[in-house]
């Protein structure tokens, strides 16, 4: 960024901060009302809370003013020169973007941006609108994504036969895809009580014993969910982080079926959604993950990468 552009940006940002300061007496009451409604548990904000909120608003305006000064005086470029941005950019590409299972070089980058943006959007929507609740719109609509994922997996199931690898590897991949597709359909069936609500089916005597009296297996364990979901969420994130960052697998099957490291931010926020003990946010994340996971498998089988080629070379070696 040259000096002239930096100065123009700085002047614009400084002007914005001064305008915000001059108009703060107009918009501050509206911000207090929003904070009272959405950020307080009881809908009440006392004088001390208002004073703290006012201080926070003025602090943010001051930060905008300081940022403008950094640009106007061209100090921002000097600060950026001190940061190893090029090395950081190279590390991000090496860790999050590379996918040896898919020949499409941009798949890792696109999945990282899309999955991270989606996770942040879900997180912000839950902060603004509240967490999804049982029998709410999110609870009723999100299970449909498992069906979408299962249908998407039909494409790689049919295309496995075209891969130029040994038949035994094809069988492993095909059965892996079939089992995952079946798992997604099973989760969908459990979420919609196997059509009980659609077809007005009465609950059988056995399933009347579960905690929601629906024809579902998972509701037998309903009281444990507030412990199971946080454990599964954080344990899966920790285990995947170990393989993503410390001990990357090399095999074709493992790299194909293990969630790709480009979903790192997604899994982080998905794990964090379990800390309140409400399992509905995690289920919404899981539904979106199923589609992301199915799309990657579809692209990898359709565009086999270097690991498929290495697998072919190993299979063709004498004695193999």
Domain extents in the chain: 3-83, 92-316
pTM above 0.85, yes or no: no
**Is the confidence at residue 314, as pLDDT, over 70?**
no
CB-CB contact of 265 with 115 (8 Å)? yes
- Note the pLDDT tens digit of each residue in 263-294: 999 999 999 888 777 788 899 999 999 999 99
Residue 306's pLDDT band (boundaries 50, 70, 90)?
Answer: confident
Angle at the Cα of 272 from the Cα atoms of 270 and 274, rounded to 5 degrees? 85
Partner residues linked to 102 by β-bridges: 304
- The stretch 58-74 carries a mean pLDDT of 91
Higher-scoring residue by pLDDT: 207, 266: 266
**Is the confidence at residue 317, as pLDDT, over 60?**
no
Higher-scoring residue by pLDDT: 138, 85: 138
- Note the pLDDT tens digit of each residue in 148-166: 999 999 999 999 988 888 8
Residue 75's pLDDT band (boundaries 50, 70, 90)?
Answer: confident
Q: What is the rounded distance in angstroms from the CA atom of residue 136 to the CA atom of residue 280?
A: 10
Angle at the Cα of 52 from the Cα atoms of 121 and 62, rounded to 5 degrees? 75
**Most confident segment among 1-5, 99-103, 307-311:** 99-103
Q: Is the dihedral of CA 47, 49, 52, 57 positive or negative?
A: negative
- Please write down the HEC assignment for all residues of 3-43: HHHHHHHHHHHHHHHHHHHHHHHHHHHHHHHHHHHHCCCCC
Residue 313's pLDDT band (boundaries 50, 70, 90)?
Answer: low
């Amino acid at each position: 960024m040259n000096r002239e552009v930096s100065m123009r940006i700085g002047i614009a940002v400084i002007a914005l901060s001064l305008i915000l300061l001059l108009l703060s007496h107009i918009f501050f009451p509206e911000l207090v009302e929003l904070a009272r409604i959405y950020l307080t548990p009881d809908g009440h904000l006392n004088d001390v809370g208002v004073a703290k909120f006012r201080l926070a608003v003025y602090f943010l305006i001051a930060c905008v003013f300081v940022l403008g000064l950094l640009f106007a005086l061209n100090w921002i470029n000097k600060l950026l020169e001190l940061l190893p941005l090029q090395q950081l950019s190279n590390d991000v590409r090496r860790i999050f973007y590379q996918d040896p299972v898919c020949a499409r070089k941009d798949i890792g980058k696109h999945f990282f941006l899309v999955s991270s943006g989606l996770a942040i959007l879900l997180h912000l929507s839950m902060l603004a609108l509240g967490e999804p609740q049982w029998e709410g719109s999110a609870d009723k609509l999100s299970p449909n994504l498992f069906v979408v994922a299962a249908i998407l997996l039909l494409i790689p199931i049919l295309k496995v036969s075209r891969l130029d690898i040994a038949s035994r590897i094809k069988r492993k991949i095909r059965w892996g895809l079939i089992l995952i597709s079946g798992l997604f359909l099973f989760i969908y069936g459990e979420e919609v009580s196997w059509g009980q609500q659609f077809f007005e089916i009465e609950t059988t005597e056995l399933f009347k014993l579960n905690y929601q009296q629906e024809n579902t297996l998972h509701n037998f364990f309903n009281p444990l969910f507030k412990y199971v979901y946080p454990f599964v969420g954080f344990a899966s994130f920790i285990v995947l982080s170990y393989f993503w960052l410390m001990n990357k697998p090399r095999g074709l099957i493992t790299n194909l079926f293990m969630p790709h490291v480009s979903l790192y931010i997604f899994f982080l926020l998905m794990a964090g959604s379990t800390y309140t003990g409400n399992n509905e946010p995690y289920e919404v994340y899981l539904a979106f993950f199923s589609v992301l996971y199915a799309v990657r498998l579809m692209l990898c089988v359709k565009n086999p990468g270097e690991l498929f080629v290495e697998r072919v070379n190993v299979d063709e070696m004498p004695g193999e």
